[in-house]
Amino acid sequence: MADLRIEHLNKRYGVTTVLNDINLNIEDGEFVVLVGPSGCGKSTLLRMIAGLDGASGGDIHIAGKLVNTLAPAERGIAMVFQSYALYPHMNVRKNMTFGLKFTGVRPAERERRVTEAARMLRLEELLERYPRDLSGGQRQRVAIGRAIVREPAVFLFDEPLSNLDAALRVSTRVEIANLHRLLKSTIVYVTHDQVEAMTLADRIVVMNRGCIEQVGRPLDLYYAPANLFVAGFIGSPAMNFFEARVKSVEGGRACVAGPGFRSLDLPAGHLKIGDALTVGIRPEHLAQGEDGPLAVEGVVELVERLGESSFAYLRRDDGRLFVAEIRGRQTPPPGERVTLTAAARDVHVFDASGLRIATPNDV
């Protein structure tokens, strides 16, 4: 049980900067997910917390203690690896107790911890088996068990579900969530899968190109992305972006218009006439209809039917493609011209530098 504090953390390899001035506070018992595209530095950050990679600058505190110079085993962390990294020449029991031997845990205590973890993870039957005789899901549970017996202050997970098939991924995800509820420990979890991030996290850290783009609760990221990157990264299919300009500013309201859609009112704020803006609308917030402050038109090109809903790919008159989610059985046939509208509260507006402009509906 511990909090984790990261201050001005940097990582450079030669001239390439992998992590740039990372600041992050993780509270005791919090489940934090680091998410971002490949190469964004999320795994590097995790490895630096673990002590597997050194920092080029900055501090890491675990439970109030500066751990910069401590070896991984002295930091009070446990890590679950993407490939599980079980020792192939040891059975499950030895895999779990191996590390404890070197940290001076007595045999009786080791046994107690293994029994406890095995019960929690339903591994009792597997203790004498070797990793090669286990399925992917079982290996995954052993890897988690090996982390649990260390009784760490902070759990680190490095894309633990990416080697599992889809069904197992969902059930293991639920198991990890349950485990967190049970152990109430601090967890830092790296993934590139935003569904994992949204479902598991107390807070999500969205990273891009070695920087933190936004930190927030899952729904905050979804409903109020701080910038264009987060808006485009969270949500699937990705948010549609439309170019727009401020047409007029009158009485504290700015009227926004752009090719392909009608018009939109915003609180003026600092906006001036002619300012370039980006308007974002999620596919699931576009609905067929005539009403609403914003309407976009397009010709249906392709419809993907998923069952509970369908995704329609539409081309606007200026040639740009956008996606709308259509609920129900009725889908427009390709070639049909459709007008889609969105409610004001579902419209995101970003300024020329990509930062979110507050709308009255923001919480």
Partner 1 sequence: MPESVSNITAQMPRAKLAGLLLFFLGPAVAIYTLFSIYPLVATMALSTYTSDPSGGRHFVGLANFETLLGDALWSKPFWNAFSNNLIFFAVHMCVQNPIGIALAGLLSLPGLRLKGLYRTVMFLPTMLSVVIVGFSWNLILSPLWGVAAGALKAVGLGSLFAPWLGLESSALVTLALISVWQFVGIPMMLIYAALLNIPEELIDAARVDGLGHFRIFLHIKLPLVLPTISLVSVLTFVANFNAFDLIYSVKGALAGPNFATDILGTFFYRTFFGNQLQLGNPTMGSAVATVMFFIILVGLCLYLFLVQRRIRRYAF
Q: Which of 9, 49, 78, 244 binds partner 1 (CB under 8 A)?
A: 78
Least CB distance to partner 1 at residue 100 (A): 8
Min. distance of Cβ 124 from partner 1 in angstroms? 22
For 335, phi then psi, to 5°, come to 100, -15
Shortest spacing between CB 275 and partner 1, in angstroms: 49
| Nearest one of 348, 338, 349, 294 to 313, comparing CA atoms | 338
- Residue 52 as a binder of partner 1 (CB under 8 A): the answer is yes
DSSP letters of 267-293?
E-TT--TT-EEEEEE-GGG-EESS-SS
Options 17, 20, 82, 162; binder of partner 1; rule CB under 8 A: 82
Q: With binding defined as CB under 8 A, does residue 103 bind partner 1?
A: yes
| Edge-to-edge strands, sheet with 154-158 | 77-80, 154-158, 186-191, 31-35, 203-208, 211-216
What is the H or E stretch that residue 337 is in?
strand 337-342
Point out which span in 24-32, 97-105, 160-168, 306-314 binds partner 1 (CB under 8 A): 97-105
Among 13, 39, 57, 89, binds partner 1 (CB under 8 A): 89
Q: Least distance in Å: CB of 48 to partner 1?
A: 12
Total interface residues for partner 1 by CB under 8 A: 26
Q: Are 205 and 34 in contact (CB under 8 A)?
A: yes
Q: Is the peptide bond before 334 cis (omega within 30 degrees of 0)?
A: no
Helix (H, G, I), strand (E, B) or coil at 160: coil
Q: Which residue in 15, 71, 167, 306 binds partner 1 (CB under 8 A)? A: 71
Q: Is residue 98 near partner 1 by the rule CB under 8 A?
A: yes
Helix (H, G, I), strand (E, B) or coil at 145: helix
Instruction: Kindly state whether residue 305 participates in binding partner 1, applying the rule CB under 8 A.
Output: no
Residues at the interface with partner 1 (CB under 8 A): 47, 50-52, 71-74, 77-79, 81-83, 85-89, 98-99, 102-103, 132, 146, 150
